[in-house]
Structure 1
Amino acid sequence: MAYANTSYSSFARPQGDSLLARLASHFAARRRYHETRRELGALSDRDLMDLGIHRSNISDIAAEAARNF
């Protein structure tokens, strides 16, 4: 006997958020990451030094900004 289940609520909401909300959150975090990298990358080494940031840490700082968004 075949059994078909058309209930997708457990698939679409494993964490209580809708798929659309999770996608929007993902893309907002991704945008924040790229904006932060672009803005910090545009600064001169002197400006970064004044902020206490080494150029090699820009990706880590951008990732942290995206996680805390």
Structure 2
Amino acid sequence: MEELKKLKKKTQKISAVLDFYDDLGRRKIHDKKELNDKKLKMEFAKKQIMKLCMESKQIIKEAEQEDKF
């Protein structure tokens, strides 16, 4: 049961970061500085998504080893 709570929390975080990433992609760029700023933020968001997915994968793996799923 604890694993499900952890996964739900991770999924909510992933969803929030994906929304942020999507919002960045929709913004109009007016100059090169904005473009560079947007690239940095999107790269950070992408890394956060990967990190959260890997953490979720680890939670599932641990739960499977303990036969909780």
The residue type paired with residue 16 of structure 2 is R
Q: Any gaps of 5 or more consecutive residues in structure 2?
A: 53-69
In the alignment, the residues of structure 2 paired with residue 34 and residue 61 of structure 1 have an alpha-carbon distance, to the nearest angstrom, of 8
Query: RCO higher in 1 or 2 (8 Å CA, sep ≥ 6)?
Result: 2
Match of 1:27 in 2: 11
Q: Which contiguous aligned blocks of 4+ residues in structure 1 show a shift greater than 3 angstroms?
A: none
Q: Any gaps of 5 or more consecutive residues in structure 1?
A: 1-11, 13-17
State which of 14, 39, 45 in structure 1 corresponds to 2:29.
Answer: 45
Root mean square deviation of aligned Cα: 3.1
Match of 1:54 in 2: 37
Number of aligned residue pairs? 47
Between structure 1 and structure 2, the one with the greater Rg is 1
| Percent identity of equivalent pairs | 11
Structure with higher helix content? 2
